[in-house]
Structure 1
Amino acid sequence: MGKSETTFTPYVRAEDDLPQITVKAVLLGILLSAILAGANAYLGLKVGMTVSASIPAAVISMAALRLFKRSNILENNIVQTAASAGESLAAGVIFTLPALILLRYWTDFPFWDTMAIAMFGGILGVLFTIPLRRALIIQQKLKFPEGVATGEVLKAGSTGGKGIIQIAWAALAAGGYKLGQTGLKIFSGSVSGSVTAGHSIFGIGTELSVALLGVGYIVGLNIAVLVFGGGLISWLFGIPLYMAFASPAEIAEVTGGISGYEAALEIWSEKIRYMGVGAMVVGGIWALISLAKPLKDGIQSSWEAVKQARSGDGDQGLRTERDMPINLVLWGVVGLSIPIFIVFTQVIDTTHLPVSRGLYWLTMATGVLFSLVAGFLFASVAGYMAGLVGSSNNPISGVTIATILATSLILLAILGTQLDFAVDSSRAQAAAAAAIVVGAMVACAAAIAGDNMQDLKAGQLVGATPYKQQIMQIVGVVSAALVIAPILSLLFNAYGLGGVLPREGMNPDEMLSAPQATLMQSVAEGVFARNLEWNMIWIGAVIAVAIIIFDKVLEARGSSFRSPVLAVAVGIYLPLELTVPIFIGGGLAWWAGRTVARRAGKEGKDPEQARGEAERQGLLFSSGLITGEALVGIILAIPFAIQESTDALRIVPEWFIPYADWAGGLAALFFIGWLYRVAVKRQN
């Protein structure tokens, strides 16, 4: 629980102003922001989930700053603040902008447009969280789990050397495994199979990805079970039931005559995954409803703090309570509306949206206004949710899809007077693209807001100066925005995204699924083209309502296991093979914690302290697995793009494929055992 303002004592006292924004801290923060943005972009496009990098960034920065004679904990905190902003911005971008590729509105990621959307949306997120810092960190008693954990890691800087070694070994091993999988083709990337019963197909498969194993460990057993459970809803019930009740002609139209696991995958892609859309929409709306009162109280408290700052009251004189001046925040938001308007007109021009001049400018102005209003609303929600469940479990995709759905309906009401979207698909495409761009602004702001609140909580624990952290958050946003477009372009041209391959002859098995962006594209385009699978969406909505009711029952009983609906919705929408390693990673985290707690109890030690140490060790190692696989995936994209083939580095013949399945499976089992051993290892 958070501490009140009157009882809290920071690690560094307010009167002890140590150097924070130094040259080495800025340069290291910029570098780590760019690297972690690339790693999270790859992970998010692959699986539709991202994880917070605050703790790995803190450990890496500690190791790097030790190379200098003089450094301190506040300087270290500044580095991780900028670095974690980069990975959060990547989440907002990859959840939305690839949808423009899937719409065939973009053929690649143009540098200036992509950079501007990411940068302006991210800066909005920073500005929106400044007036919320007091309300959510000081006045609200929220956990901010990752912010507290990051603060504790920073304070325990003497263990940074061991932590960086764990991350390095895991990253090297995961990178080598990824090279053997995707580059050399020695290991298979996945295994799958199916069973046919009557007219129904029961498919099962798993990705042999150590990054997904690490994701599962970090999010824990509860979330991992829910994500996997969502996959089972689609694959164990949804697909078989659809095939049992659909006519042979309908099934043949969807599958194209193929059979087995491929047929199940096609049915999931064309039909069943839309249950995830319905569940995600209901989940996003529920998040807003459940947070209405706390959000109202938080905004009210924030404006009270603004009034105090203007009148000179309060404790703004304390270094540890000094935010960026509120007048700069307000003028910054107003000032950003102009470049945001220009970006909208550049991305959605009159050639793609041929309506009257007055209606066109009204559409663009509405998009900007909605970006600012929804951006602040959802940034507040994201900041509050980060305090409750952490950044990694923050339902950014839920609030983003709610934004895109609302924007699409508003634009349909405005533009429907002149355009018949059911007849002209190109205009429906442009209108959907406009909704996606608005959603991208809001998603970037919300993603940054949740991460920033964690960083500011960590800063409160160590005694940082808030306005200096806020400056470095902007530095991290700009750094990530400058590299995100080239990274996305590289990944798209090397692997393809969400069913879109940039050229003929590419291997669809290597394609990055971009599940969240596909979801955004489906909803935005479907509103205008009126071709969504509404029956499946309504079924998903009903499932979501049932999950919400179940969660309320668990809450009333005081259960430690909860069922947040958005976690299940993500599982419904993801291919089952992506949820299996996440489930295994969550199970490992639970088993490792249980093992060390029992051992500590037998030895007369504190079980909870032992469990926390196992969690930290496994978290660092898992972060290394994610970083290693993601970075090698990005590096491999370079020769793949140059050679225009994912077989550019293949060293084994086609007949080796069955043996590659065995090799990949055995290697995956090795990593599972290694992660478990690291987590339960005794600390001297």
Structure 2
Amino acid sequence: LQKVFRVIAEAPEFATQQTQRFFPSAKISGEITPEYLGVGYIIGPRIAGVLVAGGVLSWLVLIPLLASLVPADVIAAQLVKQGYLATITTPGGPGGWDPAAQNFGDWTTAIYRAYIRSIGAGAVAAGGFITLLKTIPTIISSFKSSIGSIKKSGVEGVEEEGVKRTEKDLSIKIVGIGSLVLILCVALMPSTLIPGQSIGAKLLLGILIIIFGAFFVTVSSRIVGLIGSSNNPISGMTIATIMGTCLIFLAVGWTGRIYEPMALVVGGMICIAAANAGATSQDLKTGYIVGATPRAQQLALFVGAVVSSLAIGATVKILDTPTAAMAAQGIQHAIGTEMYPAPQGTLMATLIKGIQSQTLDWQFVLVGVFIAVTLELCGIKSLSFAVGTYLPLATTLPIFIGGAIRGIAEWRQRRKGVVTAPEEEDLGKGNLFATGLVAGGALAGVIVAFLAAFENTNAGLQKVNAEHSLIEGLGAEGYKWLGVAFFALLAFILYRIATSRVKESEQIDLRE
């Protein structure tokens, strides 16, 4: 109904005008997606509440405040500085800049791109660093355990006696050898594949990949445990990696355009590593619940990483192929156009150029850093809040609604005197239905995006698109409310399933 027929609006929004005297350019929006509702239910009301609180700070506090204080031309100049606008006399860009009227069509979007994303990136980086500091004891104990397992095992392939099958992991030697092989591969690859003037320069890239990888893989795994993989701020960690890499380049005197793609290589590899870390954590947790052998899972993950890299490479190649109309305009890559805008790429390129040329606005990044510090001093986990600050409110609001539904369902169960063991909650009707929402929504999105990449199938999708007809019949506001009604219906179904009683014949005996 949503992805193909467009019966449901994807992101209804309700915003105040810039001319509004008391609360200018405030926006409340929500993506009508089942996966966000499911994610919110899975992570629960506490984390979902902290997550949306970050969005409230950005969209209902900082943006209205900046809209009241910062003139339009200053915001436009900031967008030019970040690469969203070619010049201040160029119309368009985020928010629809009108140089003749010196005004934006959408102040909220313009301010979000100009300032809030930088603040959010700083908050995510600081929250991740604080999270790493908190997990250092766990990391040290795990490292000691791994070193101890090497000493006990003696010969590789000989398993330690007395270790349970469900606690057997791959040897830490594999991690060490794999890290060395990665560094050597990066250093010895030709410059056509890995940018760099010398083997020494590319050797530094390999070392930075290992260092940042160890940091953000830990952070990513922790985030997934807190708020789920769907809300893992991979882009925020990638931005932090790029910033750190560029600062190291400056420290060793590497400035200029030739070093910009080198920083992007480090950021790209850490992006992949952090994404895989979150997925791996989910896999290992699932294996722990069902009694799998971690070593066997890890071997399977190696195979999966190789196969998926080939599949993803082919998919990206297909999506990046320009249509005939694009080719006629001289466009060589579809990714980066209006069809696949890839706004994060613009932000990352701007960060690299800004740091390398020493023109980055660090004041906004530091604001985000100290927002995270303030939250920690208040006893609140800053990482969840920081993620909410960085993400659009349209993403965090439906997640919060899902978490609120779980909170209400659990409150109702407690009032009835129903006590559920933690291990039984994961297999409850509500959790299972929410998991289905996440999986189904993600799968549908991938399928539709793949179909839209081909002209024939994309033309067919456009023919069954009912959005324009519904807007003509219901009006723009009516179309938005129709989407809200569908989302409310889906939320009600989730609530009813979560609060429905489990029949005795359907109960699962976890002791078996």
TM-score after normalising by structure 2: 0.78
Q: Would you say the 8 A contact 2:234–2:271 is kept in 1?
A: yes
Q: Would you say the 8 A contact 1:279–1:543 is kept in 2?
A: yes
Q: Using the alignment, how far apart are the partners of 1:389 and 1:633 within structure 2?
A: 21
Q: Using the alignment, how far apart are the partners of 2:332 and 2:495 within structure 1?
A: 38
Q: Using the alignment, how far apart are the partners of 2:412 and 2:309 within structure 1?
A: 43
SS of structure 2 residue aligned to 1:198: coil
Aligned to 1:117: none
1:458-497 matched pairs, under 5 angstroms: 459=287, 462-489=290-317
Q: Determine which of 497, 506, 510 is the counterpart of 1:678.
A: 497
Q: Deviations over 1:340-397 (max 9, x none)?
A: 44568444436xxxxxx4xx33221101122224334544555577678876776766
Q: Using the alignment, how far apart are the partners of 1:347 and 1:330 within structure 2?
A: 24
Aligned to 2:487: 668
Q: Structure 2 unaligned runs (5+)? A: 80-94, 504-512
Larger displacement relative to structure 2 (364-373 or 657-666)? 657-666
Q: Determine which of 2, 11, 21 is the counterpart of 1:198.
A: 21
Pairwise CA distance, 1:237: 1.4
SS of structure 2 residue aligned to 1:204: strand
- Sort the Cα spacing of 1:202 and 1:384 in 2 relative to 1 into closer, same or farther, 3 A: closer
1:416-427 matched pairs, under 5 angstroms: 416=254, 419=255, 421=256, 427=257
Q: Deviations over 1:612-633 (max 9, x none)?
A: 5487322221222222222222
- Number of aligned residues: 465
Q: Would you say the 8 A contact 1:295–1:381 is kept in 2?
A: no
Q: Determine which of 445, 448, 451 is the counterpart of 1:636.
A: 448
Q: Determine which of 95, 99, 120 is the counterpart of 1:276.
A: 120
- RMSD of the alignment, in Å? 3.8
Residue identity matched to 2:482: A
Q: Determine which of 294, 300, 307 is the counterpart of 2:151.
A: 307
Pairwise CA distance, 1:191: 1.6
SS of structure 1 residue aligned to 2:360: coil
Q: Using the alignment, how far apart are the partners of 2:294 and 2:336 within structure 1?
A: 52
Matched, 1:335 2:181: yes
Q: Would you say the 8 A contact 2:30–2:395 is kept in 1?
A: yes
Residue identity matched to 2:264: I
SS of structure 1 residue aligned to 2:12: strand
Q: Using the alignment, how far apart are the partners of 2:183 and 2:433 within structure 1?
A: 42
Aligned to 2:247: 409
Aligned to 2:415: 598
Q: Using the alignment, how far apart are the partners of 1:394 and 1:662 within structure 2?
A: 29
Q: Using the alignment, how far apart are the partners of 1:501 and 1:192 within structure 2?
A: 34
Q: Using the alignment, how far apart are the partners of 1:211 and 1:494 within structure 2?
A: 30
Q: Determine which of 374, 378, 383 is the counterpart of 2:212.
A: 374
1:435-446 matched pairs, under 5 angstroms: 435-446=263-274
Q: Using the alignment, how far apart are the partners of 2:500 and 2:384 within structure 1?
A: 30
- Sort the Cα spacing of 1:304 and 1:611 in 2 relative to 1 into closer, same or farther, 3 A: closer
Matched, 1:433 2:261: yes
Q: Using the alignment, how far apart are the partners of 2:190 and 2:244 within structure 1?
A: 18
- Sort the Cα spacing of 1:537 and 1:343 in 2 relative to 1 into closer, same or farther, 3 A: same
- Sort the Cα spacing of 1:568 and 1:366 in 2 relative to 1 into closer, same or farther, 3 A: same
Q: Deviations over 1:179-203 (max 9, x none)?
A: 232xxxx222122232243393222
Pairwise CA distance, 1:292: 2.6
Aligned to 2:431: 619
Residue identity matched to 1:237: V
Residue identity matched to 1:243: A
Q: Would you say the 8 A contact 1:403–1:442 is kept in 2?
A: yes
Larger displacement relative to structure 2 (584-593 or 193-202)? 193-202
Matched, 1:365 2:203: yes
Q: Using the alignment, how far apart are the partners of 2:420 and 2:372 within structure 1?
A: 34
Matched, 1:234 2:234: no
Aligned to 1:587: 404
- Sort the Cα spacing of 1:568 and 1:462 in 2 relative to 1 into closer, same or farther, 3 A: closer
Q: Deviations over 1:300-337 (max 9, x none)?
A: 22212211112779427865555445555544443343
Q: Deviations over 1:232-252 (max 9, x none)?
A: 111111112112222354256
SS of structure 1 residue aligned to 2:302: helix
Residue identity matched to 2:207: L
- Sort the Cα spacing of 1:567 and 1:387 in 2 relative to 1 into closer, same or farther, 3 A: closer
Matched, 1:568 2:385: yes
Larger displacement relative to structure 2 (249-258 or 187-196)? 249-258
SS of structure 1 residue aligned to 2:44: helix
Q: Deviations over 1:604-648 (max 9, x none)?
A: xx4234995487322221222222222222222244222377745
Q: Using the alignment, how far apart are the partners of 1:611 and 1:301 within structure 2?
A: 27
Pairwise CA distance, 1:210: 1.9
SS of structure 1 residue aligned to 2:3: helix
- Sort the Cα spacing of 1:541 and 1:374 in 2 relative to 1 into closer, same or farther, 3 A: closer
SS of structure 1 residue aligned to 2:195: coil
SS of structure 1 residue aligned to 2:142: helix
- Sort the Cα spacing of 1:531 and 1:592 in 2 relative to 1 into closer, same or farther, 3 A: farther
Pairwise CA distance, 1:398: 5.9
Residue identity matched to 1:667: F
Q: Determine which of 87, 102, 107 is the counterpart of 1:263.
A: 107
- Sort the Cα spacing of 1:524 and 1:299 in 2 relative to 1 into closer, same or farther, 3 A: farther
Q: Deviations over 1:95-134 (max 9, x none)?
A: xxxxxxxxxxxxxxxxxxxxxxxxxxxxxxxxxxxxxxxx
Q: Deviations over 1:264-315 (max 9, x none)?
A: 1112112222210121121122122222333223212221221111277942
Matched, 1:179 2:23: no
Q: Using the alignment, how far apart are the partners of 1:392 and 1:676 within structure 2?
A: 21
Residue identity matched to 2:37: L
Q: Using the alignment, how far apart are the partners of 1:222 and 1:613 within structure 2?
A: 16
Larger displacement relative to structure 2 (568-577 or 258-267)? 258-267
Matched, 1:247 2:247: no
Q: Would you say the 8 A contact 1:225–1:583 is kept in 2?
A: yes
Q: Would you say the 8 A contact 1:597–1:611 is kept in 2?
A: no
Q: Determine which of 618, 626, 650 is the counterpart of 2:465.
A: 650
Aligned to 1:293: 137
Q: Would you say the 8 A contact 1:277–1:540 is kept in 2?
A: yes
Q: Using the alignment, how far apart are the partners of 1:534 and 1:266 within structure 2?
A: 19
Q: Would you say the 8 A contact 1:195–1:260 is kept in 2?
A: no
SS of structure 2 residue aligned to 1:190: coil
- Sort the Cα spacing of 1:636 and 1:342 in 2 relative to 1 into closer, same or farther, 3 A: farther
Aligned to 1:70: none
Q: Using the alignment, how far apart are the partners of 2:34 and 2:351 within structure 1?
A: 31
Q: Would you say the 8 A contact 1:285–1:402 is kept in 2?
A: no
Aligned to 1:188: 9
Q: Determine which of 353, 361, 364 is the counterpart of 1:536.
A: 364
Q: Using the alignment, how far apart are the partners of 2:55 and 2:490 within structure 1?
A: 23
Q: Using the alignment, how far apart are the partners of 1:662 and 1:432 within structure 2?
A: 46
Q: Would you say the 8 A contact 1:404–1:438 is kept in 2?
A: yes
Pairwise CA distance, 1:546: 0.7
Q: Using the alignment, how far apart are the partners of 2:289 and 2:484 within structure 1?
A: 43
